[in-house]
Structure 1
């Protein structure tokens, strides 16, 4: 496979799911993903890291490299620690990240993540909840990501997801910039 790579398995999702369940109305606090991104309209999200709006300066959102922890991410210290630890392990700089729920019978429609932000970053999925395995397609390849697995995938390819199970599919989805690209992309050695 060239568009998917399983990096880890047997990660215990229970602490992350407990953290989400411990926050009242966690899935209702932010509706930007389903309200503003047509291909994501059936998914719910908890933003952990987002673009630094003050850095937009006339650029398209998909071309803004600066990101920051969201205020709401303080409710998810285990998720934050996981992201920070994995970024160190990969010698990378965290970009945007979120916890995403795709309810049973719903889908993410085919799309390519466009813009300069996405061209230089790696995209990852940590599967927190998926009874049947999470079906996903990128290019001409299809996978079923299992609960507790961490995957890299190539979001430069046309990709889509479908929850054909009978319970919510929950993933932590995040981007990382390889540290060796920091000066070229961010204008500073990080």
Structure 2
């Protein structure tokens, strides 16, 4: 496989238990689900780290931001309140960062896809994929939950950790009988 690389697995039980004990976290931030024309309409997310959300008055300001020419750093993510509550996430994130020789931590979010749901095919922005490398820690997945990147697909299994090439068109389909819950982590690594 060229578009995926598995890393050593982890035990997600403590974090998964803490998430299940705090179900209100799934409703606190609907940014991805509500994003117009976005691929995430069928998911729920818990934002642990994410860029500050910005509203631009003019298209020109947005274009400068996307090109990295504004006063705002589009790659800067900040801790959200859920990251302080879900203390079990931090050792998993920092352990992965140490394992891959991370230089900067970007977005960290937990996404849930119900049985029969999906994240629709999309490509991440070139500026983001050139800067950050995307990893997944699968917290919960049943047989029949797949991620596709380009022309390859990987069945997701609980406890698996992997890199995938998010520069390519990709999607996630949950054909299992349980929620698929995965932590998505962006890390700047030496290339």
TM-score for the superposition, normalised by structure 1: 0.86
Q: What is the SS of the residue equivalent to 1:77?
A: coil
1: CA distance, partners of 2:139 / 2:23 = 19
The yes-or-no answer on 1:138 pairing with 2:186 is: no
Shift of 1:88: 2.1
Give the CA deviation at 1:22: 2.0
**SS state at 1:116 partner:** helix
**Corresponding residue for residue 33 of structure 1:** 32
Greater helix share, structure number: 1
Stretch moving more, 88-97 or 104-113 = 88-97
Between the aligned partners of 2:115 and 2:6, the Cα distance in structure 1 is 24
Equivalent residue for 1:64? 74
* Structure 1: tracts of 5 or more residues without a match: 182-190
- List runs of 5+ in structure 2 lacking aligned partners: none
Aligned-pair Cα RMSD in Å: 2.1
**Preserved CA contact (<8 Å) 1:64 1:116:** no
Q: Using a 3 Å threshold, how does the CA distance of structure 1 residues 61 and 25 change in structure 2: closer, same or farther? A: farther
The DSSP-based 3-state class of the residue aligned with 1:84 is helix
C-alpha change, 1:24 and 1:170, in structure 2 (3 Å) is closer
Q: 1:76 aligns with which of 70, 80, 86?
A: 86
Native 8 Å contact 1:15 1:78 kept in 2: yes
Runs (4 or more) in structure 1 with deviation over 4 Å come to none
TM-aligned CA distance change 1:145 to 1:132, over 3 Å = same
Q: Is the 8 A contact 1:136 1:142 kept in 2?
A: yes
Deviation at residue 84 of structure 1 after TM alignment: 1.7
Shift of 1:85: 2.3
Q: Normalising by the residue count of structure 2, what TM-score does the alignment of the two structures yield?
A: 0.85
Q: Give the whole-Å Cα distance in 1 for the aligned partners of 2:101 and 2:166.
A: 20
**What secondary structure sits across from 2:46 in the alignment?**
strand
